[in-house]
A and B are shown apart, each in its own frame.
Chain A
Amino acid sequence: MGAARRKSLASHAMLLILCAVMLYPVLWWFGAVFKPVEELSSPRILPLRPTLTNFTEGWYAITNYSFGVFFSNTILLSISVVAVTIVSCSLVAYGFARMNFPLKNFWFSIVLLTLMLPNQVTIVPQYILFDTFDWIDTYLPFVVPHALAGGIGGSFFIFLLVQFIRGIPRELDEAAEIDGCGSFKIFTRIIVPLLVPALVTVSIFCFLWNWDDFFGHMIFIKSIGKFTVGQALKLFVDSQSAAPWGQLFAMALLSILPGAVVFFFAQRFLVEGIATTGLKG
């Protein structure tokens, strides 16, 4: 008993040290946002003379636009994308999981194949395509692909939902069918309510990945008034010859807050979602 206890103490000590080392830069960052300029070159976490000026000045650091604009842009973009993704991906997943049609397995293997396709391969012609549609500098290059069950993570979400629907007993569908439900009614009445946990996972991933899709934002969004937070931070870095680190850190911290909040509220879904999709493949 004594030996087992000592062993678990050793594990705890090791894990605590690891966590401390991993989180130290992040904690230092959280402290730095409240530090006046002269304290920024200290490895201390807590500020000696805490101040809020980094927030108040950083918020308006970009001429003509406050960070409020960039936050509402990013929220608008991410939420529209999540909304259309939930609808399109669950419909498609239902088709793959429950319907029978010619070439089904072929198309599903294409879904899995596109899971591995680097988006650099399609980004150039997609840009040209969206340019001819006059969609550059709008959010349509993000919303439309997701509405077609594509975009960032689209194939992954289809795959995840198909796996989940396959786990729902078919007897439920059959019982509803006897009661006279058509396939769409079965989908809305039986499948969707049971699919909610999986849809939460999809929404969280979709939100986080689109929030951080700096590459896509930078390619398709051109005018500052439509910039996302990530783009605004990059603009902030570039616009100053000597970076005002305190203000930058403060705005950067705000930019990760929505993701962090979503994560802490829904992390059970998230962590288990990753784990199960990783295994059921």
Chain B
Amino acid sequence: MTGYLYIAPWLAGFFLLTAWPMMQSAYFSLTDYSLLEPARWIGLRNYRQIFTTDQSFVHSLRATFLYVLFSVPLKLIAALLIAMVLNKNLRGMHFYRTVIYFPSLIGASVAVAILWNNVFGINGLVNQLLSLVHIEGQNWIGTPSTALGTLIILAVWQFGSSMVIFLAGLKQIPGEYYEAAAVDGAGKVRSFFKVTLPLLSPIILFNLVLQTIGSFQMFTQAFIITRGGPVETTYMYALFLFDKAFAHLQMGYASALAWILLAIIAAVTAFIFATSRAWVHYETEGR
């Protein structure tokens, strides 16, 4: 039983800071609770309101799904392609890896959000560069059709951390596999689809799940760069939830939103795992 002594801190933390809050959150989601007055039971009214009348919920779902749908695949494709180039034992690999990883290191900070705000602003760097080739820019952050795009570019810019994981995976693929494929007459493209992708698929799954879960919770960049606007086109779910809880003090409503987010993330993750049976290849033979 001494084992329990060692894990006691985690166990206490789990019950006090995760399990109990989750139960409370489930209860609060069925109440009207403003922190200032005691919670008042209202049954499923929060959920009903969210699903039937709340336009912001629709907008935030739309923004969040678009963000996840574009940023995650683009990020992973960039990460995989560059990892394959870096895997060729080039000189200076260390330098390239550091430079490409650097945006991932600083990307989540308020500092970079401020930089982005300026770079895509009306007088920002992007427009200055465009004016060099005589194209008139626009306010990328203030325009509904492009605001979300600036956030997606920021996400894709940080493909370095996924790339590092791909790179480690590529290094584990034995060179003989490619030699065998070449002997069998497979070209570059064919050996990519027949050797690299299948052998890397468990890592693709890992990166996909990690990035998807993370992207659903994006907050800081949307909060600082666009503040959810214009016209709620970048109103990310976490931002919406934050506003309800800490700006409007609708704790019950926010708890309901949190449970819906959890359900969405769980469903999407389960969906990814379900499809993974068809495309993830596990090396089981010869062990």
Contact = CB atoms under 8 A, between A and B. Distances in A.
Interface of A: 8, 11-12, 14-15, 18-19, 22-23, 25-26, 28-29, 41-43, 88, 91-92, 94-96, 99-101, 104, 107, 110-111, 114, 116-129, 131, 145, 147-150, 154, 158, 183, 208, 211-212, 214-215, 219, 229-231, 233-234, 237, 245, 248-249, 252-253, 255-256, 259-260, 263-264, 267, 271, 274-276, 278-279, 281
14 contacts: A15-B90, A43-B128, A88-B10, A92-B10, A95-B6, A118-B216, A121-B22, A122-B25, A150-B13, A212-B108, A214-B219, A233-B111, A256-B106, A263-B105
A150 B17 contact: yes
B17 A120 contact: no
B23 to A, nearest CB: 8
Contacts of B269: 116
B181 interface: no
Given A25-B115, A110-B14, A260-B105, A118 B7 contact: no
Contacts of A214: 109-110, 219-220, 223
A94 B14 CA distance: 17
Nearest to A214: B220
B262 A121 contact: yes
B67 interface: no
Contacts of A28: 125
B82 interface: yes
B172 A279 contact: yes
A238 to B, nearest CB: 10
Given A25-B125, A252-B115, A255-B111, A278 B168 contact: yes
Contact of A149 (B13, B28, B114, B219): B13
A22 B100 contact: yes
A101 B3 contact: yes
Given A150-B13, A260-B106, A275-B167, A120 B261 contact: yes
Given A23-B99, A118-B265, A120-B258, A88 B9 contact: yes
B5 interface: yes
Contacts of B98: 264, 267
A18 B82 contact: yes
B49 interface: no
A131 B164 contact: no
The 9 closest A-B pairs by CB, nearest first: A95-B6, A148-B13, A99-B3, A101-B3, A275-B168, A252-B111, A125-B21, A278-B165, A230-B110
B140 interface: no
A237 B224 contact: yes
Given A11-B88, A148-B16, A233-B111, A22 B103 contact: yes
Contacts of B279: none
B165 A274 contact: yes
B9 A91 contact: yes
Chain B's interface: helix, strand, loop or mixed, by majority?
helix
A107 B21 CA distance: 18
A118 B254 CA distance: 14
A208 B8 CA distance: 26
Contacts of A208: 105
A219 B18 CA distance: 17
A229 B7 CA distance: 34
B97 interface: yes
A116 B35 contact: no
Given A121-B261, A230-B109, A104 B25 contact: no
Contact of B168 (A41, A219, A264, A279): A279
A158 B10 CA distance: 9
Contacts of A279: 165, 168-169, 172, 203
Interface in B9-59: 9-14, 16-18, 20-22, 24-25, 28, 35
Given A22-B99, A122-B17, A274-B165, A234 B132 contact: no
Residue of A120, A145, A215, A229 with highest tally of chain B CB at under 10 A: A120
Interface stretch (B68-76, B141-149, B190-198, B237-245): B237-245
B80 to A, nearest CB: 14
Contacts of A215: 219-220, 238, 242
A126 B245 CA distance: 12
Given A252-B110, A275-B164, A281-B206, A122 B21 contact: yes
A25 B108 contact: no
Contacts of A41: 123, 128
B102 A23 contact: yes
